[in-house]
Structure 1
């Protein structure tokens, strides 16, 4: 197995809110990938004393430990446990009912000698490549399917859509959102390689339309995870005036790409 992990903040003066880890069990069989994209908080009150990087470090660290130490747990069970455990760490000091309490999108992949299990929650992406080269994206597209009018303002999103039925879900303080995640399992021999990407890296496909998921995977395989992030940064710099599309919330976003050859 060979792995490559690249994570770059959207701005050098701002903390990276993403988290990425690759875990290998001591038994030497299988492995796991954990990628979180922390949701940037608004400038207004969030009800929490802690930063998004504080949250993603704790949730991501707990998930990494469980993915390699508890093969008896499903990925949904792991996510529920770690959301609950992280919430307990600051429930006494923070208002965890606030819609903008620290939260993150989640990609998990765990494989053994027999199978590969996966989980995706919100708008990060997992790509699976078959031995024949077919690339299958695993996406939670609920946010993309919502009408633009329903996402007109942050306040509207927070009050009607964020972690609500009919809207979209992130890992925040409610363990039950784990049941909302996109999950599945495939025989491990059907996966030659995989990639986990935060939406700062998926911009190459989803925002700038430089290629499809298969072409994105080809770029990762040929030139590496760093090349994908570099390409996104080049496109962002060329698009500062946002002429190519409307509605981008940030000129630059934290971008994380993990590429694994099994």
Structure 2
């Protein structure tokens, strides 16, 4: 088994809001990948005393423990329990009903000798490579399906679309959001490699159109996870006319985790 993990902040002067881990139980009978992309809050506040990195560290730590300590529990239930535990850690000090309470996207993958379970919530991506080289992306595309006009301002997103029917969902304070995640199970024999990427890394495909998902995974497998991040950074710097980036931030936190089974 080969594992590789790279996580780089978009701005060296700001904390990285992503979280990533690979858990390999002592039994040697499986493992898990956990990737979170913290949602950068607006300047107007979140109703919370804690930062996004605090939240992703808490939630990511809980998910890392629970995905391997509860191997028979579905991943949606694992996420629900981890969200409840994290909410309890600051329920007494913070307004968890605030629409911008700290939150994150989620990618989970857990493998055993027989199967690979996956969960994706919001706009991070899981890539799965089959024995024949076919690469399949698993994603929650609800945010991508929203019209651009609906995403004109953060205020409108918070009021009408975030964690609401007809909008999109992120992992915040409500454990029931786990039921909204994209989940599934694959036979272990049909999986040769997994790659979990935050949207700061998937820009190579979905923003700059430099290649498809198979090509993206090839870069990671053949050149390393850092090579993909470096390619994205070069493209971001070159887009001085904002042709591809539009109103998006120039550099975003970028995380890539590769597991070859």
Query: TM-score per shorter chain, which class?
Result: over 0.9
- What CA deviation, in whole Å up to 9, does each residue of 1:8-46 have, x standing for no partner? 000111000000000011111111000000000111121
1:98-177 matches, within 5 Å, as 98-177=98-177
Distance in 2 (CA, whole Å) between partners of 1:60 and 1:144 is 24
Partner of 1:257: 256
Q: Does 1:34 align with 2:38?
A: no
Where 1:208 maps in the other structure, the secondary structure is coil
Distance in 2 (CA, whole Å) between partners of 1:9 and 1:258 is 15
Partner of 1:10: 10
Where 1:256 maps in the other structure, the secondary structure is strand
Distance in 2 (CA, whole Å) between partners of 1:243 and 1:176 is 38
- What CA deviation, in whole Å up to 9, does each residue of 1:158-200 have, x standing for no partner? 0000000110000000000000000000100100001000000
1:38-117 matches, within 5 Å, as 38-117=38-117
Structure 1 residue 247: Cα displacement: 3.1
Distance in 2 (CA, whole Å) between partners of 1:48 and 1:152 is 25
Distance in 2 (CA, whole Å) between partners of 1:129 and 1:245 is 28
Where 1:157 maps in the other structure, the secondary structure is helix
Distance in 2 (CA, whole Å) between partners of 1:102 and 1:161 is 16
What's the TM-score once normalised by structure 1's chain length? 0.98
Unaligned runs of at least 5 residues, structure 2: none
Contact kept in structure 2, 1:35 and 1:196, CA below 8 Å = yes
Structure 1 residue 239: Cα displacement: 1.2
Unaligned runs of at least 5 residues, structure 1: none
Contact kept in structure 1, 2:236 and 2:245, CA below 8 Å = no
Contact kept in structure 2, 1:20 and 1:34, CA below 8 Å = yes
Structure 1 residue 261: Cα displacement: 0.4
- What CA deviation, in whole Å up to 9, does each residue of 1:198-254 have, x standing for no partner? 000000001111011111011111101010000000011111331335232x10000
Count of residues in correspondence between the two structures: 261
Where 1:90 maps in the other structure, the secondary structure is coil
Where 1:183 maps in the other structure, the secondary structure is strand
Distance 1:245 1:26, change over 3 A: closer
Where 1:3 maps in the other structure, the secondary structure is strand
Moved more, 122-131 or 209-218: 209-218
Structure 1 residue 72: Cα displacement: 1.9
Q: Does 1:232 align with 2:198?
A: no
Where 2:89 maps in the other structure, the secondary structure is helix
CA RMSD of aligned residues (A): 0.8
* Structure 1 moving runs of 4+ over 4 Å: none
Contact kept in structure 2, 1:240 and 1:251, CA below 8 Å = no
Distance in 1 (CA, whole Å) between partners of 2:244 and 2:148 is 18
Structure 1 residue 130: Cα displacement: 0.2
Moved more, 63-72 or 137-146: 63-72
